Structure 1
């Protein structure tokens, strides 16, 4: 399996574990007029037929372009080292914070929110879903969806009461905030597009920002899929316990 995205920066990295597999990595960085860096990446591993990437994401970094490139390379190497060992089952982690329970699944590839919703449709049925990220960006409802009750608050797309799961888009790199009722909503920041984001991270700026937003907005659940995993943050103890027992949603 070869790199396909055509990124201008490429390198090989040998994973620092017993398997010692070699990964091919490509990435690109560009700098916006406001000074922020945007990067995209692709990682492939021929022996395990593995390919994953996340398109464009904002980089939390201040410095020169050369320093940013070195920073991204170090992030990608760390991400590869933290992948689930080849052939192992998905790793499940749990935790609690601010009255919420957290389940996170990580198999080293991009998570799929569809897997979680198909296992536990009660997460969204009869509720409203505010989409902070859809395929790494904002979701744009169609004219038909607006007629059916979808709305927009800034970049945030808000569903009508969910009656069937097929109402919801699930292309990947999704982040949903689920509510029992719609009060006065406001735009939501998204976090799943940041490489290695996890609601269980410690001493991490973006994780702290995520929790400040959750505490302020008080959703019933937050569902997220990014690289490299899938997570559920919920105030529902029963759903948490069911999800935590299921290692492969």
Structure 2
């Protein structure tokens, strides 16, 4: 889960809303220091606690645990892009949810990595994209909406992290229209770590029956060629014997 180009795109009027561009209040979560590590951490999970580790630049890693239900509430609000104020032994620390591990069968959270940030140093993280509205090229022309990404890499101070970017796809009226990174209306305190021409979303024209038929024919031809090669190789091997 960690975080851890098309040129010459047409100009279109675009409304992209940045939600919470200036982070004023971090979401609070309590944690406790834990001594249980390795297999012993399973005891915590049986008590509805999640083993976690907190670390940061020039900060020693510390083993902690958080309440399962409280973390779920916080994660639903913060995701991996909003600041969380982690209270550990009476100390309040600003962190990002850096990584979570899930149980393969149940999907329950089994471990969390918290990254402690320095409020005066920029961080790089992924901001989720929320697509809103309806694309006329889909509704009226029968096209297919193509989303090339659902999050975008940014760099800024922790206090300037946006919660998300809302992208209005109602501007996609034709198959020539695209929404590119350069169309994002962002704070001058936030740097997008992608080329401006990178396409975020577009609408692809539907395939005609003729093109689908041609595609099927090509696939059949390719399969026949492969089958022919295999038969030829088998025949060659038989001759060698």
TM range (shorter): under 0.3
Which structure would you say has the larger RCO, counting Cα contacts within 8 Å and 6 or more residues apart? 2
Give the TM-score of the pair, scaled to structure 2. Answer: 0.22
The structure where strand makes up a greater share of residues is: 2
Give the TM-score of the pair, scaled to structure 1. Answer: 0.21
